[in-house]
Amino acid sequence: MTTPRILDGKSVAAAVLDECRAETAGLKQLGITPGLAVVLVGEDPASKVYVASKARTCAELGFHSLKIELSADTSQEELLQVVRDLNADPAIHGILVQSPPPKHIDEEAVIRAIDPRKDVDGFHPENVAKLVLEDPTGFVPCTPAGCMKLLEVSGIDTSGAEAVVIGRSMIVGKPMALLLVSRKSNATVTIAHSRSKDLAAICRRADILIAAVGRPEMVRADWVKPGAVVIDVGINRVGDATKKSGYRLTGDVAYQEVAPRCAAITPVPGGVGPMTIAMLMKNTLQAARQLA
């Protein structure tokens, strides 16, 4: 058993935001104020918290921030018109439609409607293609980008490492795998998921294990190779009567039992979460530069 190195997303995110603040000041001297619009459809409590946090961070950096809150019964066409209006607004460089929308909204159609030059979430097919092609003018999804930044700043060498990504979503799993296997990172990558045979055995091969499956504490100690680096992307609410809120936050990794086996691990909360918002701000700055 070892004492693992805690990969502190809060401190790394703070450093990224300091860089963003300095770059924003420079752009403003050129007459450019980075603008981010966040669209929220419905009353999802977690989404409202995320949107408020993004708006606060924009204000701290000196961005122009626009928050558009629409009722849960907003039609698909009404939402698409909002997106079209934002595409045409020269004061807005980044557009984010908070996920998940209500069930009657076709989220894929909304993503495709966003001008790819303003798609700071990195989900538009054009930006997905640029990620595959390693084209730096595209936008990388914020959570995988944050994971890579955390590894980089922490001095964790990915070159030649065996990396396992649990989860195959377009939000985290697939782009995470592409970043790890890129010519810059040079990892050997396996994407695993709920249908993978002997998932625990696959995970035990990993020098770097990324858990992004959305199942509380699914990854147990015997899934993790001694000395591995574990990045826990999951953030789940689990009922806990001892807490005033009635719940506690936990990741996809059973932290208390897994941590002693690791060389390094991210906590939940305070690991990957802060990095996601920091990389969104970085993407918005990139959009402002490229659209200027």
CA pair distance 64, 1, nearest whole angstrom? 49
CA pair distance 59, 277, nearest whole angstrom? 13
Query: How deeply is 38 buried, as exposed, middle or buried, from its count of CB atoms within 10 A (0-12, 13-18, 19+)?
Result: buried
Tokens of 145: 């980008």
Instruction: Scan for tokens 């300095």, then name that residue.
Output: 22
- What is the DSSP track for 32-93? ---EEEEEEES--HHHHHHHHHHHHHHHHHT-EEEEEEE-TT--HHHHHHHHHHHHT-TT--
Establish whether 197 is a catalytic residue: no
Q: Are 149 and 279 in contact (CB under 8 A)?
A: yes
Set 119, 121, 207, 232: catalytic member: 121
Q: CA nearest 275: which of 194, 210, 208?
A: 210
Establish whether 106 is a catalytic residue: no
CA pair distance 161, 165, nearest whole angstrom? 13
Establish whether 54 is a catalytic residue: yes
CA pair distance 290, 288, nearest whole angstrom? 6
In angstroms, the first-to-last Cα distance of the chain is: 53
CA pair distance 188, 163, nearest whole angstrom? 6
Question: For residue 207, what is the DSSP state?
Answer: S
> Which residue type, as a one-letter code, is found at position 279?
M
Annotated active-site positions, please? Answer: 54, 98, 121
